[in-house]
Amino acid sequence: MIVILKQNPNRAQLENLIDWLQSKGIQIHTSVGLTHTILGLVGDTSQLDIDLISALDIVEGVRRIQEPYKNANRKFHPNDTVIEVGNTRIGGGELTVMAGPCSVETEEQVVTVAKAVKASGATLLRGGAFKPRTSPYSFQGLGADGLKLLSLAKKETGLPIVSEVMDVSQLPLFDDVDVIQVGARNMQNFNLLKELGSQKKPVMIKRGLSSTYEELLMSAEYVMSEGNENVILCERGIRTFETYTRNILDLASVPILHQLSHLPVIVDPSHATGKSGLVPPMALAAIAAGADGLLIEVHNDPACALCDGPQSLKPEAFDKLAKKMFALHDFLKDAED
């Protein structure tokens, strides 16, 4: 960590700072420049509170050299984390496809879709029971009943389930869920993250709409620092000035997160773009960028006029895409050798 001092800092305050840092086991290298003096802090700075130091009257700025996350950091854990869920492995060169409806609505719907996506090669069933909606007047999901329908589909198909939790109080309902998803709007719901850290199920954290890579990794760190190492990162688009699509899918996040961390990285092209026509090219691009898997919405209810989510593929389109995805993954693996 580098601390840049203001010009002519108060001596007493500077000594206070240096004493305090040394009491934390930090060594200090001082470098006197023409206009500024710089302190180079050497030691385990990941546990220093950068805001506290920035706050000092004598400090102009503080810059981290070392990353503030440890458990999630590739430097301290060079090998890929591989998470086993049912018969499937997430991370470490596998391609995991999680697919299913955005919202769980009926038994027929979820079982039909589950069977279809399994037949196409998906290894996890995704489905929303608790739905975070901007408007209190929009459908909020079936809740506990939705989770029961997912369980039925799991029993029918053997597919493990991934579903979103919105609040600590809902956790007891997630017994039969295999991967617990934290939504983008809850990425910095720190109480929820801590709670998920003190149980053992894998946790998939979606990147917040305006969250940096470091903030995403710090949210993973919240879970991991409580003892749960099974964290999956999920890129689902960020908010920018462009309004043509719902969000901008940031595929560079895939190689970057792989470089910074050992955790698997899943890409959700359905929510990022909000348009089903963009899901296939973005899914393939995600694989080419090195993603460990995809989270894709698939929906099918021909009897209902108002069901096709604008971002959902129908099973036939998903099947076509899945074939391409697995073939592309194999092609790229071979090209690597």
User: Interface residues for a second copy in 55-84 (CB under 8 A)?
Assistant: 55-57, 63, 65-66, 68-69, 75
* Binding-site size, a second copy (CB under 8 A): 111
* CA dihedral over 114, 118, 120, 121, signed as positive or negative: positive
- The rounded distance, in Å, linking the Cα atoms of 134 and 246 is 14
Interface segment toward a second copy; rule CB under 8 A; list 36-44, 85-93, 119-127, 227-235: 36-44
Q: Is 31 in the site for a second copy (CB under 8 A)?
A: yes
C-alpha span between 206 and 219 (Å, rounded): 10
Amino acid, res. 221: E
Which of 22, 25, 52, 107 is the binder for a second copy (CB under 8 A)? 52
User: Could you tell me which stretch among 84-92, 107-115, 137-145, 174-182 binds a second copy (CB under 8 A)?
Assistant: 137-145
* Smallest separation (angstroms) from a second copy to the CB of 18: 10
Half-sphere exposure of 134 (CA within 13 A, CB side): 0
- The secondary element (H helix, E strand) that includes residue 67 is none
Specify the stretch interacting with a second copy by CB under 8 A; choose among 78-86, 92-100, 153-161, 235-243. Answer: 235-243
Among 312, 313, 315, 318, binds a second copy (CB under 8 A): 312
Q: Which of 124, 149, 205, 282 binds a second copy (CB under 8 A)?
A: 282
In the complex with a second copy, which residue's Cβ is closer, 130 or 157?
130
User: Would you say 88 or 270 has its CB closer to a second copy?
Assistant: 270
Of 90-119, which residues contact a second copy (CB under 8 A)?
none
Q: How far lies 64's CA from each of 42, 214, 296, 298, in Å?
A: 11, 12, 37, 43
Q: Could you say whether residue 121 binds a second copy (CB under 8 A)?
A: no
CA 55-57-58 angle, 5° bins: 110
Min. distance of Cβ 118 from a second copy in angstroms?
23
Distance CA 105, CA 150 (A): 10
Minimum distance of a second copy from residue 162's CB (angstroms): 20
Q: Residues 100, 127: contact at Cβ < 8 Å?
A: yes
- Per DSSP, the residues of 210-247 read T--HHHHHHHHHHHHHTT---EEEEE--B--S--SSSS
Nearer to a second copy, 158 or 304 (CB): 304
Q: What is the CA radius of gyration of the chain?
A: 23
- Report the candidate in 105, 161, 149 with the shortest Cα–Cα distance to residue 307: 105
Q: How far is CA 268 from CA 229, 237, 247, 287, in A?
A: 22, 8, 11, 11
Looking only at residues 210 through 229 of this chain, which bind a second copy when binding is defined by CB under 8 A?
Answer: 210, 212-215, 218, 221-222, 225-226
Secondary structure (3-state) at 265: strand
Name which position in 9, 13, 89, 143 contacts a second copy (CB under 8 A). Answer: 13
**Shortest Å, Cβ 19 to a second copy:** 8
31 vs 158, beta carbon nearer a second copy: 31
The binder of a second copy chosen from 157, 163, 228, 273 (CB under 8 A) = 273
Q: Which is nearer to a second copy, 157 or 222 (CB)?
A: 222
- The residues, ordered by sequence, that sit 6+ positions from 233 with a Cβ below 8 Å of its Cβ are 204, 205, 207, 216, 217, 220, 257, 261, 263, 264, 265, 266
In the shown chain, the binding pattern of residues 139 to 178 toward a second copy, with x for contact by CB under 8 A and - for none, equals xx-------------------------xxxx---------
Q: Tell me the three state secondary structure of residue 125.
A: strand
Selected range binding a second copy among 84-92, 93-101, 134-142, 156-164, rule: CB under 8 A:
134-142
In the complex, what is the shortest distance from the CB of residue 15 to a second copy, in angstroms, rounded to a whole number?
Answer: 9
